[in-house]
Amino acid sequence: MYQARRRYYLCLVFAGLYFSCKMVVALEFQPGVGVGVEYTDNARLEPDNVVNDLITIGYVGAGISEDEGPLTYNANTFFNNQSYTQDTFPDQHQLYFAGRADWVMIKDRFNWFLSDNFSQRTVNTLAANTPDNLQDTNAFNFGANIRFPISARQSFSLSPSFSQYYYEVQATDNKQYLLAANWNYLMSRVNNVGLNLSARKVNYTETDIFGNTITDTIFTNLAFIFSGQRLRSNYSINLGATNVKRDSGEDGTGFAGAINWSVNVSSRSTFETLVSTDLTDSSRVSQSLTEDPANGNPTDVQITTDVIRNGVFNLAYLRNDASLHSRIWGEFRKLAYSNSPSDRVIRTYGISLDYPFTQLLSSGAYISYNRTKQLDTDRLDQYHIVGGNLKYNFARNLYSSFDIKYRTKDSTFASAIYDEFSVFASLVYGFGDVQRPSRVGGY
């Protein structure tokens, strides 16, 4: 069933891209193929019995986009095959797809939206992201925005939507039904105030390890929203409360809120910060981080059927000079789970630099640190990653990349300690990078 599902997604994606590019003249369609090879001195990411391996990679992918007219959309997909020449792991076949579409049926009144993301993520977020700890996941979302202008300053809108989350290994598949009502008032040319009321039902479609039905959860949220712009900055403030009700009888209400602030420090640099806390489910938090990695790493969130309290303080500084592009970030996140012993505090810091030597040759470097403390078990994990890369363009659609990386993990759990040195090289013709989900991202 698992292989059949993967083949179905693959055929659907490439068939859709192929026929779309034939039907839409203004469509931008970019296919590509590539090959890569990677050497690692610790393929299993273990403290003992270290195994060297050489991984060969074959890649095929495509990108498609349309940003004009009432129907706009974009999608990126790739399929790769990874072969471990020393048979450390069986050959890996991995599919990735990310797409979204928006159709404006009535301008400023009614539009449909749709998105789908198929990728791989870790089963146990505290374990190494080797192939035996990866699973296919899919997140689908479909809905509409219905707007009712009241006056020149006031508007009201309804947003019904449906989401479905699939996890290959974990019994946490669920369907979500959301209805949100929004009122917005334009106080001045650059300041808004609003009110949001939403109800979301999470329906778990599987049973737990004991064969029991997983209880559904209903989240009801009421929030006041303030937003505005200044000459060099903009902000939004969301303050309210969330009520949680489960079929098992577990009820509760808690504060929920968020503050976003972004300021242009100069014409080339930006400072951004986010402070938020909310009561929600792990599927929704993980997917939001997958769609916007600038707000955190999705592998920090352990997928469960619990209600979780997600508290975040995130800040980032971005600077784009004529030649050097840099980003510095830091994050504090606290996750509290209602039933599972997965409560954790996460601190993450990092810096990345990109520098083009010439029009054909560019380079980059990155450093990151992650500290994860398990509150229930008092387990502490610390991750360090240091790496650099080079990219050379032989022609407009032909380039080669080279990446060297060292990563290490220290832990109070002895079997989780490891360090690894790896080197990767690829040659790509056409669109995109050679993607390596099991060797990139996470720890």
Give me the tens of pLDDT residue by residue for the chain, a chain 443 residues long: 445 455 545 454 444 444 444 444 456 778 889 999 999 999 999 999 899 999 999 989 888 999 889 999 999 998 989 999 999 999 999 899 999 999 999 999 999 999 999 999 999 999 988 999 999 999 999 999 999 999 989 999 999 999 999 999 999 999 999 999 999 999 998 999 999 999 999 999 998 777 788 999 999 999 999 999 998 999 999 999 999 999 877 789 999 999 999 999 999 999 999 999 999 999 999 999 888 877 788 889 999 999 999 999 999 999 999 889 999 999 999 999 999 999 999 999 999 999 999 999 999 999 999 999 999 999 999 999 999 999 999 998 899 999 999 999 999 999 999 999 999 999 999 865 555 544 544 44
Q: Are 32 and 61 in contact (CB under 8 A)?
A: yes
Q: HEC profile for 85-141? A: CCCCCCCEEEEEEEEEEEEEEECCCEEEEEEEEEEEEECCCCCCCCHHHEEEEEEEE
Cβ neighbors of 11 (< 8 A, separation 6 or more) are: none
Residue 150 and residue 146: Cα distance in Å, rounded?
Answer: 13
The answer to pTM > 0.85 is yes
Q: How many CA atoms lie within 13 A of 254 on its CB side?
A: 16
